[in-house]
Amino acid sequence: MKTLIIYATKYGTTEKCALKLEERIVESKAINVNEIDINDFLKADRIILGSSVYAGQIRKELKKFVTKNENRLLKKKLSIFLCGMQKGIEQEKAINLNFSEEMKQHANVINYVGGAYQLEKCNFLERLAVKVIAKATESKEEIDYDKLYELV
Ligand SMILES: Cc1cc2nc3c(=O)[nH]c(=O)nc-3n(C[C@H](O)[C@H](O)[C@H](O)COP(=O)(O)O)c2cc1C
Protein backbone atom coordinates (compact mmCIF):
# COMPACT_ATOMS: atom_id res chain seq x y z
CA MET A 1 0.00 0.00 0.00
CA LYS A 2 1.61 3.19 -1.21
CA THR A 3 -1.22 5.68 -0.89
CA LEU A 4 -3.23 6.06 2.29
CA ILE A 5 -6.52 7.92 2.00
CA ILE A 6 -7.39 9.23 5.45
CA TYR A 7 -10.92 10.58 5.77
CA ALA A 8 -13.37 12.01 8.29
CA THR A 9 -17.09 11.91 7.66
CA LYS A 10 -20.34 12.50 9.51
CA TYR A 11 -23.00 11.04 7.22
CA GLY A 12 -20.90 9.08 4.73
CA THR A 13 -20.39 11.33 1.71
CA THR A 14 -16.68 11.83 2.34
CA GLU A 15 -16.30 8.11 2.93
CA LYS A 16 -18.00 7.45 -0.41
CA CYS A 17 -15.52 9.79 -2.14
CA ALA A 18 -12.57 8.18 -0.34
CA LEU A 19 -13.71 4.71 -1.47
CA LYS A 20 -14.07 5.94 -5.08
CA LEU A 21 -10.45 7.11 -4.92
CA GLU A 22 -9.36 3.81 -3.38
CA GLU A 23 -10.98 1.99 -6.33
CA ARG A 24 -9.03 4.07 -8.83
CA ILE A 25 -5.60 4.41 -7.20
CA VAL A 26 -3.42 1.32 -7.37
CA GLU A 27 -1.90 0.17 -4.09
CA SER A 28 -4.11 2.46 -2.04
CA LYS A 29 -6.20 2.06 1.09
CA ALA A 30 -8.95 4.28 2.46
CA ILE A 31 -9.31 4.47 6.22
CA ASN A 32 -11.40 6.51 8.63
CA VAL A 33 -9.06 8.71 10.67
CA ASN A 34 -10.61 7.24 13.84
CA GLU A 35 -9.37 3.77 12.86
CA ILE A 36 -5.95 4.61 11.52
CA ASP A 37 -3.02 2.27 12.05
CA ILE A 38 -0.06 4.55 12.65
CA ASN A 39 2.31 2.08 10.93
CA ASP A 40 0.27 2.33 7.71
CA PHE A 41 0.58 6.09 7.96
CA LEU A 42 4.33 6.03 8.56
CA LYS A 43 4.93 3.58 5.68
CA ALA A 44 2.78 5.32 3.04
CA ASP A 45 4.55 7.37 0.33
CA ARG A 46 1.50 9.43 -0.44
CA ILE A 47 -1.29 10.67 1.81
CA ILE A 48 -4.69 11.91 0.70
CA LEU A 49 -6.67 13.74 3.38
CA GLY A 50 -10.44 14.07 3.00
CA SER A 51 -13.00 15.71 5.23
CA SER A 52 -16.44 17.19 5.08
CA VAL A 53 -16.95 20.82 6.07
CA TYR A 54 -19.52 21.96 8.63
CA ALA A 55 -19.93 25.67 9.40
CA GLY A 56 -16.64 26.32 7.62
CA GLN A 57 -14.68 23.76 9.65
CA ILE A 58 -13.27 20.38 8.69
CA ARG A 59 -14.17 17.51 11.05
CA LYS A 60 -12.36 17.92 14.33
CA GLU A 61 -10.92 14.39 14.34
CA LEU A 62 -9.11 15.12 11.06
CA LYS A 63 -8.02 18.55 12.26
CA LYS A 64 -6.54 16.93 15.38
CA PHE A 65 -4.70 14.35 13.25
CA VAL A 66 -3.31 17.04 10.94
CA THR A 67 -2.15 19.24 13.83
CA LYS A 68 -0.44 16.31 15.52
CA ASN A 69 1.23 15.01 12.35
CA GLU A 70 1.87 18.14 10.30
CA ASN A 71 5.66 17.65 10.17
CA ARG A 72 5.24 14.07 8.99
CA LEU A 73 2.65 15.09 6.41
CA LEU A 74 5.00 17.72 5.04
CA LYS A 75 7.55 14.98 4.28
CA LYS A 76 5.13 12.94 2.13
CA LYS A 77 3.35 13.48 -1.17
CA LEU A 78 0.11 15.09 -0.12
CA SER A 79 -3.30 15.82 -1.65
CA ILE A 80 -6.44 17.08 0.05
CA PHE A 81 -10.14 16.97 -0.81
CA LEU A 82 -13.01 18.62 1.00
CA CYS A 83 -16.66 17.64 0.75
CA GLY A 84 -19.09 20.50 1.07
CA MET A 85 -22.00 22.17 -0.62
CA GLN A 86 -20.70 25.74 -0.57
CA LYS A 87 -19.47 27.30 -3.79
CA GLY A 88 -16.93 29.93 -4.84
CA ILE A 89 -15.25 32.11 -2.27
CA GLU A 90 -16.64 30.06 0.65
CA GLN A 91 -14.59 27.10 -0.57
CA GLU A 92 -11.41 29.18 -0.55
CA LYS A 93 -12.25 30.49 2.92
CA ALA A 94 -12.67 26.96 4.26
CA ILE A 95 -9.35 25.86 2.76
CA ASN A 96 -7.58 28.89 4.23
CA LEU A 97 -9.20 28.48 7.63
CA ASN A 98 -8.37 24.81 8.02
CA PHE A 99 -4.88 24.36 6.60
CA SER A 100 -1.59 26.12 7.33
CA GLU A 101 0.35 27.97 4.62
CA GLU A 102 2.94 25.16 4.62
CA MET A 103 0.30 22.49 4.07
CA LYS A 104 -1.33 24.49 1.27
CA GLN A 105 2.03 25.04 -0.43
CA HIS A 106 3.03 21.43 0.00
CA ALA A 107 -0.15 19.71 -1.28
CA ASN A 108 -0.13 19.11 -5.04
CA VAL A 109 -3.94 19.29 -5.16
CA ILE A 110 -6.51 20.75 -2.75
CA ASN A 111 -9.95 20.31 -4.26
CA TYR A 112 -13.43 21.00 -3.03
CA VAL A 113 -15.40 18.14 -4.55
CA GLY A 114 -19.02 18.97 -3.67
CA GLY A 115 -21.08 16.82 -1.37
CA ALA A 116 -24.60 15.90 -0.38
CA TYR A 117 -27.40 17.02 1.86
CA GLN A 118 -28.93 13.92 3.42
CA LEU A 119 -31.73 15.59 5.34
CA GLU A 120 -33.17 12.31 6.58
CA LYS A 121 -29.92 11.72 8.50
CA CYS A 122 -29.62 15.27 9.88
CA ASN A 123 -30.88 16.28 13.31
CA PHE A 124 -33.48 19.01 13.73
CA LEU A 125 -30.98 21.88 14.06
CA GLU A 126 -28.94 20.73 11.09
CA ARG A 127 -32.07 20.47 8.95
CA LEU A 128 -33.08 23.95 10.04
CA ALA A 129 -29.61 25.35 9.23
CA VAL A 130 -29.66 23.75 5.79
CA LYS A 131 -33.14 25.12 5.15
CA VAL A 132 -32.42 28.65 6.36
CA ILE A 133 -28.83 29.11 5.19
CA ALA A 134 -28.67 26.95 2.07
CA LYS A 135 -32.40 27.15 1.23
CA ALA A 136 -32.39 23.40 0.58
CA THR A 137 -35.56 21.55 1.52
CA GLU A 138 -34.77 18.21 -0.11
CA SER A 139 -31.88 15.78 0.03
CA LYS A 140 -29.53 16.07 -2.91
CA GLU A 141 -26.12 14.91 -4.02
CA GLU A 142 -23.74 17.09 -5.99
CA ILE A 143 -20.39 15.30 -6.02
CA ASP A 144 -18.06 16.73 -8.66
CA TYR A 145 -16.34 13.56 -9.82
CA ASP A 146 -14.06 15.43 -12.23
CA LYS A 147 -12.64 17.39 -9.30
CA LEU A 148 -12.44 14.26 -7.16
CA TYR A 149 -10.60 12.23 -9.77
CA GLU A 150 -8.01 14.97 -10.20
CA LEU A 151 -6.54 13.38 -7.07
CA VAL A 152 -6.00 10.05 -8.82
C1 LIG B 1 -25.49 21.75 9.44
C2 LIG B 1 -24.67 21.70 8.19
C3 LIG B 1 -23.67 22.65 7.97
C4 LIG B 1 -22.90 22.62 6.79
N5 LIG B 1 -21.95 23.56 6.60
C6 LIG B 1 -21.23 23.55 5.45
C7 LIG B 1 -20.22 24.53 5.21
O8 LIG B 1 -19.92 25.40 6.04
N9 LIG B 1 -19.56 24.49 4.03
C10 LIG B 1 -19.84 23.55 3.07
O11 LIG B 1 -19.23 23.57 2.01
N12 LIG B 1 -20.78 22.59 3.28
C13 LIG B 1 -21.46 22.57 4.44
N14 LIG B 1 -22.39 21.60 4.67
C15 LIG B 1 -22.57 20.52 3.69
C16 LIG B 1 -21.77 19.26 4.08
O17 LIG B 1 -20.40 19.53 4.09
C18 LIG B 1 -22.09 18.17 3.09
O19 LIG B 1 -23.39 17.75 3.40
C20 LIG B 1 -21.14 17.01 3.06
O21 LIG B 1 -21.38 16.23 1.93
C22 LIG B 1 -21.22 16.13 4.30
O23 LIG B 1 -20.30 15.08 4.19
P24 LIG B 1 -20.23 13.88 5.24
O25 LIG B 1 -21.48 13.09 5.08
O26 LIG B 1 -19.02 13.10 4.81
O27 LIG B 1 -20.06 14.45 6.60
C28 LIG B 1 -23.16 21.60 5.83
C29 LIG B 1 -24.14 20.63 6.07
C30 LIG B 1 -24.89 20.66 7.22
C31 LIG B 1 -25.93 19.60 7.46
Question: Which domains does the chain show, CATH number per domain?
Answer: 3-149 (3.40.50.360)
pLDDT of residue 1 exceeding 90 = no
State the pTM of this model: 0.97
Q: pLDDT tens-digit profile of 58-103? A: 999 999 999 999 999 999 999 999 999 999 999 999 999 999 999 9
Query: Does residue 56 come out as left (phi exceeding 0), alpha (psi in the -120 to 50 range) or beta?
Result: left
Q: Which residues of 3-15 are buried (b: 16+ CB within 10 A; e: fewer)?
A: bbbbbbbbbebbb
Measure 34 CA to ligand 1 centroid, in angstroms: 19
Q: Whose CA is nearest to atom 3 of ligand 1?
A: 54
Mutate to test the pocket of ligand 1, among 54, 57, 141, 142 (most ligand atoms within 8 A of CB): 54
82 vs 137: CA distance, rounded Å: 23
For ligand 1, which residues put their CB under 6 angstroms from it? 9-14, 52-56, 83-86, 115-117, 122, 126, 129-130
